């Protein structure tokens, strides 16, 4: 692929920026807004540009992407680079740094569907990626860019998952990584991944938004490549689950896709993926994309409620779903646009609703981390409000693996997670989902007594 196969466009003022001249903070020099990748030969925005248009042939692409599932080439085995025609961002895609990310399962949620009265309810489990979260799909794309551009150091501020992914991909590429984390506000599992993969790991006495501010200065003053989701190449990788979902639906796409919202890169990326697919004729419609936030970290929800998503007021974020404990989301403008363009919604959910939904997904044998469970909690609210009909098809995007935050799960089952006020109104549902761990004598009699009681129950 050639350098000029893509360019960057500012989502604020529309300025076009050539990749070689992009600023280190990936913001527009004229208006400071974020950039997005576009492909002059086939993106919708390219229609007004001079030069030849080479729209890819949808039938040929579908065939090629299926064929690659049989290949032994690492980039074909990656669920991101398998779709490389739609993300031609590297000079040589064969040099991509890959851990065989993507190609994640789409599970049918049978019990939950039955309880809620849905026929078609699915979970796309991005926690089944190599480092246990959806961040891997974006990291393979952006870190490969960093390497191609000759950087030796990459850096991110993170609530945990980005740092785990970055540290792993940097280690694979034999590059160095710097991680800034909010001290005491991320799970041990995620911290352990960053350390295990050799990142220089700094815990700062601030929150995620504070880490972002410090990192911005570090990036200005040191030769490090920024890998937060303001980096538009991250979103190119993170749009590929949209392609996988469409492929699983035989290119018909579901009616709704529900995504957790934190820094709001992921909802933006999925929207881009679905919209590009429709533009190229790969699918004939886009799903409604809905973003769900925790009540304690809900700036996009408030922005859409109060001013139709025209501006955002940062909030002081607080939720036990630490992955989405973000008060000043970078990609809010992109996410608000995706909700508008696809006809989706933005919803908020309480701590108790998150905990209950997480337990329900766990009892399906699937499991996820707390931030992912906001999707199911949000679905229930939208059904009650009549915004989603039970006859419609819905995909919940589960963003992280259940083992990402075992402390949360154990606290939930020991009833140490929520306060009485937080549980109010959901006490019965919550207690029905709690499972005790038992300490017994090492005797079969003791175990059989427990088993009998369980059978009776
Ligand atoms: N779910 C999980 C498990 C996450 O780790 C994140 C974000 C989100 C949802 C929200 O995605 O930011 O694109 O809206 N985690 C980031 C991190 C911020 O540093 O790992 P988003």
Give the Å distance between the CA of 186 and the centre of ligand 1. Answer: 12
Mutate which of 272, 312, 324, 373 for ligand 1 pocket (most atoms within 8 A of beta carbon): 324
Same domain, 271 and 348: yes
For residues 55 and 52, what is the distance between their CA atoms, to the nearest angstrom? Answer: 10
Q: Are residues 8 and 116 in the same domain?
A: no
Query: Which of 266, 298, 367, 403 maximizes ligand 1 atoms within 8 Å of its Cβ, making it the mutation to test the pocket?
Result: 266
State the pLDDT at residue 49: 67
DSSP string, 265-297: HHHHHHHHHHHHHHHTTS-S--PEEEEEEEGGG
Residue reference for tokens 């696809």: 342
The answer on 113 and 49 residing in a single domain is: no
Strand order in the sheet with 394-398: 106-108, 121-125, 394-398, 256-260, 288-294, 346-349
Q: Is residue 160 situated within a structural domain?
A: no
* C-alpha distances in Å from residue 309, one per residue of 302, 333, 336: 8, 8, 6
Atom number of ligand 1 nearest to Cα 133: 3
Residue 428 lies in a domain: yes
| Average pLDDT of the residues in 47-56 | 75
Burial of 299 (0-12, 13-18, 19+ CB in 10 A): buried
- Tens digits of residue pLDDT in 70-121: 999 999 999 999 999 999 999 999 999 999 999 999 999 999 999 999 999 9
Write out residues with Cβ below 6 Å of ligand 1: 133, 135, 158-162, 229, 260-266, 323-324, 369, 371-372, 399-400
Q: Is the model's pLDDT at 212 over the cut of 80?
A: yes
Whether pLDDT at 276 is above 90: yes
Question: Measured on CA atoms in the order 101, 106, 110, 114, is the torsion positive or negative?
Answer: positive
- The number of beta carbons lying within 10 Å of the beta carbon of residue 32 is 12
The residues facing 156 across adjacent strands are: 179
* CA distances, 67 to each of 60, 82, 188 (Å): 11, 9, 40
Mean pLDDT confidence for 53-78:
95
Indicate the DSSP class of residue 34.
B
Binned at pLDDT 50, 70 and 90, residue 280 comes out as: very high
Q: Residue for token digits 């019965």?
A: 428
Does 85 fall in a domain?
A: no
Atom of ligand 1 nearest to the CA of 159: 19
Whether residue 195 is contained in a domain is answered as no
The answer as to whether 122 is a domain residue is yes
* Residue 206 CB burial class (10 angstroms; 0-12, 13-18, ≥19): middle
What is the rounded average pLDDT of the residues 190-218?
97
Percentage of the chain surpassing pLDDT 70?
Answer: 98
Does residue 163 belong to any structural domain of this protein?
no
Answer yes or no: do 329 and 400 share one domain: yes
- Mean pLDDT across the chain: 96
CATH of the domain at 340: 3.40.50.1100
Residue 103 has what DSSP assignment? -
Count the domains in the chain: 2
User: Which residues, 6 or more positions from 231, have their beta carbon under 8 angstroms from its beta carbon?
Assistant: 26, 142
**Is the model's pTM score more than 0.85?**
yes
Residue 298 sits in which domain range?
Answer: 106-132+234-433
- Report the nearest atom of ligand 1 relative to the CA of 264: 14
Q: Residue 2: pLDDT above 50?
A: no
Specify the 3-state DSSP secondary structure of 8.
strand
**Do 263 and 374 belong together in one domain?**
yes
Mean pLDDT across 55-59 = 92
* 259/333 same-domain check: yes
Atom of ligand 1 nearest to the CA of 369: 3
> Residues 361-373: pLDDT tens digits?
999 999 999 999 9
Let me know whether 276 and 345 are in one domain: yes
Please indicate, yes or no, if residue 181 is contained in any of the structural domains.
Answer: no
Which residues face 346 on adjacent strands? 291
Q: Is residue 145 part of a domain?
A: no
Check whether residue 7 and residue 127 sit in a common domain.
Answer: no
Dihedral pair phi/psi, residue 78, rounded to 5°: -80, 135
């Amino acid at each position: 692929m050639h350098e000029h196969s893509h360019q960057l466009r500012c989502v604020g003022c529309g300025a076009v920026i050539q990749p070689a001249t992009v600023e280190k903070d990936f913001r527009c020099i004229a208006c400071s807004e974020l950039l997005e990748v576009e492909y002059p030969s086939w993106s919708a925005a390219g229609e007004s540009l001079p030069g030849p248009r080479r729209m890819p042939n949808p039938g040929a692409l579908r065939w090629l992407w299926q064929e690659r599932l049989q290949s032994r080439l690492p980039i074909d085995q990656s669920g991101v680079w398998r779709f490389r025609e739609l993300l031609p961002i590297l000079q040589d895609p064969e040099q991509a740094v890959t851990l065989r990310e993507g190609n994640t399962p789409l599970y049918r949620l049978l019990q939950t569907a039955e309880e809620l009265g849905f026929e078609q309810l699915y979970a796309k489990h991005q926690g089944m990626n190599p480092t246990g979260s959806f961040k891997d799909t974006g990291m393979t794309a952006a870190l490969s860019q960093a390497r191609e551009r000759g950087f030796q150091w990459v850096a991110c501020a993170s609530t945990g998952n980005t740092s785990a992914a970055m540290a792993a991909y940097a280690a694979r590429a034999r590059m160095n990584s710097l991680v800034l984390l909010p001290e005491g506000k991320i799970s041990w599992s995620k911290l352990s991944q960053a350390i295990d993969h050799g990142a220089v790991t700094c815990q700062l006495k601030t929150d995620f938004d504070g880490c972002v501010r410090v990192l911005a200065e570090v990036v200005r003053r040191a030769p490090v490549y920024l890998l937060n989701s303001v980096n538009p190449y991250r979103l190119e990788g993170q749009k590929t689950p949209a392609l996988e979902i469409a492929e699983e639906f035989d290119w018909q796409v579901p009616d709704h896709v529900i995504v957790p919202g934190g820094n709001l890169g992921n909802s933006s990326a999925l929207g881009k993926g679905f919209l590009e697919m429709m533009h190229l004729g790969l699918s004939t419609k886009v799903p409604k994309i809905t973003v769900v936030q925790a009540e304690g970290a809900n700036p996009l929800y408030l922005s859409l409620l109060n001013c139709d998503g025209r501006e955002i007021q940062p909030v002081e974020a607080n939720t036990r779903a630490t992955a989405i404990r973000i008060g000043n989301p970078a990609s809010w403008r992109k996410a608000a646009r995706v909700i508008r363009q696809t006809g989706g919604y933005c919803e908020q959910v309480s701590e108790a609703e998150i905990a209950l939904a997480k337990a329900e997904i766990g009892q399906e044998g699937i499991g996820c981390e707390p931030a992912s469970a906001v999707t199911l909690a949000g679905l229930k609210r939208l059904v009650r409000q009549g915004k989603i009909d039970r006859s419609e098809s819905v995909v919940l995007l589960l963003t992280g693996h259940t083992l990402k935050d075992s402390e949360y799960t154990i606290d939930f089952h020991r009833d140490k997670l929520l306060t009485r006020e937080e549980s109010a109104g959901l006490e019965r549902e919550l207690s029905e989902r709690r499972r005790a761990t038992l300490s017994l004598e090492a005797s079969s009699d003791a175990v059989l007594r427990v088993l009998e009681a369980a059978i009776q129950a």
